[in-house]
Structure 1
Amino acid sequence: MSKEPARQSVRHGAGAPDDGPITRQRILVCALEIIDRDGIEALSMRRLGKALDRDPMTLYRHAPNKAALLDGVAESVLDQLEVGDGDEGDWVTQLRAVARGFRRLALDHPQVVPLLVTRPLSTPLGLRPLGTLRPLEDILGLLTRAGFSDAEALHVYRALFGFLYGHVLNELQELVERPDETDDLLRLGLHRLPIGEFPLLRGLAPVLASYDGEAELERGLDILFAGLSATLARDSDGAAPAVV
C-alpha cells in the first residue's frame, strides 16, 4: 500500500548532531542508532541528549519517557515494511513480500526485534502505538480485497506473523559453539549430549550446521500458505481464495 506523505522512514546514519532544530524524527533516528549499536538497555535520555548535543530535558517535548521513545523507534522501523495494495499479484505473492521485508528489517536491526515482537504482545491492542498497527490494517485490507472475510483475513494475519516472529527469533539465535570446527557435532556443541540420548538430534547435526535463514523462511511460507488455503477452503461455505 502506498505510503502517506506524513509517514517517513527513519534513515540510518542521520542522527549525528548538527545545528538544526531538534525534531521527533531526528530523535528517533539517533535513538535507533544507539539501539542498533549497543542494545535497548543502552538507550537513555541522558545518552540521547549527549549524542544530539542537547540538554536531555529538551527531548521530553517530543518523547515524555523512555517507553514512548521505544514505541516511536518501533513505529519508525515498521513504517519501512511495505504492504502491497493487491494490484501487484495474488495474496500469497503479496504476503511473501511482506514476510521477506519483515525478515530484512529484523536482520538489519536485530537489537530492535524485541520492540517488534515481544513488547507489542505485552500491550493491549488498543493501547499500542498507531504505527505498529498499520501493517495489521494494511494486510487485513489486502486480504479482504482478495476475497477473504474479515475473520479469515485476521486468521491469516495471525498465522503469518506468529510464524514470522518465531522465525526471526530463531534465526537471530542460531549460534554455533565452535565456528572454526569442521565436525558438525563439535561446531554445535552436540558432543556434550549424553551418549545414546537424542539420536535424532545428533543425526541432524549436518542439517542444523548448514542452517539457511532465507531458505527456512521460504520453506515455512510454503507450508503455511498451503495449509491456510486448504483450511480456509474446507471451513468456508464458498471457495476461499486459492494459492496460485
Structure 2
Amino acid sequence: MTERPRKSTRAVNRRSAPGVVAHGEGPVTRAVVLDAALEIIDRDGVDGLSMRRLAEAVGRDPMVIYRHVPNKAAVLDGVAEIVFAELSVDTTGTDWAAGLRELARDFRRLALEHPRVVPLLVTRPLATPLGSRPRAVVRPLEDILELLTRAGFSGADALHIYRALFGFLYGHVLNELQEIVERPEETDEVLRLGLYRLPIDEFPRVRELAPVLAAYDGEQELERGLDILLTGLTATLPGPAR
C-alpha cells in the first residue's frame, strides 16, 4: 500500500506562529503552555511533566503558568485536546466508509507521532462528562454523527458505529505501541519474540503463530481491522448500503 503524504501537525504550526516564543520571550498564552507540555511529554512521558518543569520550559515563574492552567490535570486535558484537534472528518463526503478509514489513518499517524500522549487520548476524555470535555475532543463525535446521518444511518446506529470505531482504534494503537521484539537480530521467530519462555504444551497456539506474530505490521493490521469492522457494520446495520 502507498503511504499517503503526512499532514503537518498543528503543534508544528503553533511553534512557527508569530508571538509563540518560549524561554521567557514573548507573551505566554494557554497555547504556549500546552505546546511546551506536549514537548515535555513527547520527550519524557507523562511522569516527566510537572508544573515546575513546565514553568522552566516556558521560562516563567510557576505562578504565570497557573494563570492559564489551574493544575496538572488541566494541563493533561489540554494536551489531549490539542492532539485531538488534529483529527478532521469531511462531513460532506459521499463515501462514509472511506471517510472513517481516513480518520482512522490520521488517528494512527498522531499516535505514532506522539506515542507517550496516547494514554491521555484514551483515558483523559473518559474521566470527564461528555458536555464538559473540550470542544476539540467532542468534535470527532459530532462530525462522525453528521457524516453517518447524512449517509442514511439513524442517529443511534451512527453512535454505535462511532463507539465501535474508536474502541477499535484505541485498542489498535495501544497494541501497536506495545509490540516489543526481544531480540531483533534473531531470525528464528520463537527466539525473536522470547516465546521459548512459554511451555509449548500450555501455549501451543501462540507458539504456532510465532511467524505471524513476528511479522506484525501496524499499518496492515489497521487496514485489516478496518476491513473487518466496516464490512461487519455494513452487513448488520440498516443504512445506505442495504
Q: Taking structure 1 as the reference length, what is the TM-score of the superposition? A: 0.89
Provide the residue aligned with 2:34 in structure 1: 28
Amino acid at match of 1:172: L
Task: Give the C-alpha shift of residue 18 in structure 1.
Answer: 4.9
Provide the residue aligned with 2:12 in structure 1: 11
Provide the residue aligned with 1:242 in structure 2: 241
1:165 aligns with 2:170: yes
Within 5 Å, which residues of 2 pair with 1:1-244?
A: 9-11=10-12, 14=15, 16-87=22-93, 89-233=94-238, 240-242=239-241
Identical-pair percentage: 68
Residues 83 and 98, structure 1, Cα contact 8 Å, conserved in 2 = yes
CA distance in 2, matches of 1:134, 1:13: 20
RMSD: 1.7
Q: How many residues align?
A: 229
Extract unaligned runs of 5+ from structure 1: 1-7, 234-239
2:124 partner SS: helix
2:212 partner SS: helix
Task: Give the C-alpha shift of residue 23 in structure 1.
Answer: 0.8
CA deviations over 1:110-135 (Å, ceiling 9, x no partner): 11111110222233323323321111
Residues 229 and 242, structure 1, Cα contact 8 Å, conserved in 2 = yes
CA distance in 1, matches of 2:22, 2:67: 20
Q: 1:12 to 1:42 in 2, by over 3 A?
A: farther
CA deviations over 1:141-169 (Å, ceiling 9, x no partner): 11111111111110100010010011001
Provide the residue aligned with 1:237 in structure 2: none
CA distance in 2, matches of 1:189, 1:181: 10
CA distance in 2, matches of 1:215, 1:157: 21
Extract unaligned runs of 5+ from structure 2: 1-8, 16-20
Q: Which runs of 4+ in 1 moved over 6 A?
A: none
2:11 partner SS: coil
Q: Taking structure 2 as the reference length, what is the TM-score of the superposition? A: 0.90
CA distance in 2, matches of 1:104, 1:95: 14
